[in-house]
Amino acid sequence: MHRVLGDRRAVLILLGPALLVYSLIMLVPTLWSLGYSFTKGNTIDGFTGNGLDNFHRLFTDPDVRHALWFTAKYAVTVTVGQVVAGYLLALLYVFFLKKASALIRTLVFFPVVLPTVAVGLLFKNLFQVGPQTGPVNSLLNAVGIESIDFFGSSGHAFWVLIVMDIWRSMGFYAVLLFAGLVDIPDEVLESARLDGASGLRLIRHIVLPMSFPVLMSSLIFSINGTLKAFDSIIALTNGGPGNSTSPLTLYMFQTSFTYSDYGYGSTIALLLTVVCLMVTLVVFRASRRDLTKD
């Protein structure tokens, strides 16, 4: 192995194609997009350089502030929701259902494989108030509460979106965390139990620290995925009402492709990239702490 990795020609042959593909589909578009950030225009009018104007606009645009705030709020809420729900499900699979968990695992995982648009339509129908009353409003009516126009106000639409995205993805995180939990050696758990640890104490001092790496991976997966959320929001609210559920991704898309402002759209994309990078670094930094020490 050392001989192969020591031979630069072999390294080049083995890594070259992957490096080339990576460069073509990741690095070049990223750099290209960065280049567009210093221009204004579109494919019809052509592009002209405008220096740092787009960056100046980025810091003064109230729509960016709104989209950034929504993105942060959405990412934190959904990440907490899907990782906590996934972890609780994983604990349920490992410690309660044990070998009988296969069927439940499959059922909870099922929404992950459903197309996002289908899930969006499902939730739209569940929560709709007009033209027909959806099951959720029917339930509210049955207990004497008036129908709520869930997609008519930003607050309600936000929570329907959160519920939908947690429901849709918790099965994935449950399986991911389940894999981390089954890796904990039985002997360790047994020893902990003999030492008197059980229930929450066992989870707090043994299970949580030992599944911490996979938990951290889930967090990074989740936060990065939710910061870039697009399809589920388009399918359920299309960013509305107004732009109240528009994240940065949607604002970037609209700016570039609907308003034909590719330069500013690229600047928003750059902001999103920086946010993702910063959040990932913060999560990595936080993960250095050793949870087994109080």
Partner 1 sequence: MNTDSSAARRARLAGLTASTAVLALFTAACGGTGGGSTSAPKNFSYLTVNENATVKTALGTLSKGACADENKALPLKVESVPQTGLDQKLQLLAGQNALPVQFAAGNAPALTDKLYKSGKIADLEKELDKLGVLDQIQPGAISTIKALYGGKMEVLPYEYNIEGIFYNKKIFAKDGITEPGTWAELTAAAAKLETKGVQPFSASGQQGWPLTRLISGYLYRSLGPDALQAVKDGKAKLTDPPYVKAAQEIADLGKKGYFGKGVGSIDYDTAINQFLTGKAAMFYMGSWALTNIADKKANTVGADNIGFMPFPAVSGGKGSIDQYPSNVGLGITLGKNIDAKTGDWVTCIAKNYGSTALKDQGSISGFKTNSEVKDANAVAGKVRRTISDSQQNVLWFEALFSTKATTVSQTNAASLVNGTMSPQQFMQTVQDALKSE
Taking CB under 8 A as the criterion, the residue among 33, 116, 154, 273 binding partner 1 is: 154
Q: CA-to-CA distance for 131 and 5, rounded, in angstroms?
A: 66
- Minimal distance, residue 6 CB to partner 1, in Å: 8
In the set 197, 230, 241, 287, which binds partner 1 (CB under 8 A)? 241
**What is the rounded distance in angstroms from the CA atom of residue 78 to the CA atom of residue 99?**
29
Which of 19, 88, 102, 117 contacts partner 1 by CB under 8 A? 19
Among 37, 39, 101, 128, binds partner 1 (CB under 8 A): 128
- Single residue of 17, 115, 130, 213 touching partner 1 by CB under 8 A: 130
Please, which residue, 258 or 289, has the CB nearer to partner 1? 258
**What is the signed CA dihedral for 21, 27, 29, 34, rounded to 10 degrees?**
-170
Question: Judged by CB under 8 A, which of 56, 152, 195, 286 binds partner 1?
Answer: 152
Pick from 110, 159, 257, 284: which binds partner 1 (CB under 8 A)? 257
CA distance 277 to 285: 12
# residues near partner 1 by CB under 8 A: 40
* Binder of partner 1 out of 50, 77, 116, 147 (CB under 8 A): 147
Q: Which is nearer to partner 1, 36 or 87 (CB)?
A: 36
Contact between 104 and 174 (Cβ < 8 Å): no
> Count of CB atoms within 10 A of residue 289's CB?
8
Q: Cα dist. 75→80, 154, 224 in Å?
A: 8, 16, 8
- Whether 48 and 40 have beta carbons less than 8 Å apart is answered as yes
* Least spacing, CB of residue 280 vs partner 1, in Å: 26
User: What is the rounded distance in angstroms from the CA atom of residue 8 to the CA atom of residue 1?
Assistant: 13
Cα dihedral 81, 84, 87, 88 in deg (nearest 10): -100
Indicate whether 273 belongs to the interface with partner 1 (CB under 8 A).
Answer: no
CB of 238 vs partner 1, minimal distance in Å: 8
The span from the CA of 264 to the CA of 262, in Å, is 6
Nearest Cα neighbor of 233 from 86, 31, 82, 70 is 70
Nearest distance in Å: CB 152, partner 1: 5
Residue 138 identity (one-letter amino acid): S
Which residues of the chain form contacts with partner 1 (CB under 8 A)? 6, 8, 12, 16, 19-20, 23-24, 27-29, 32, 42-46, 124, 128-131, 133, 147, 149, 151-154, 238-243, 254, 257-260
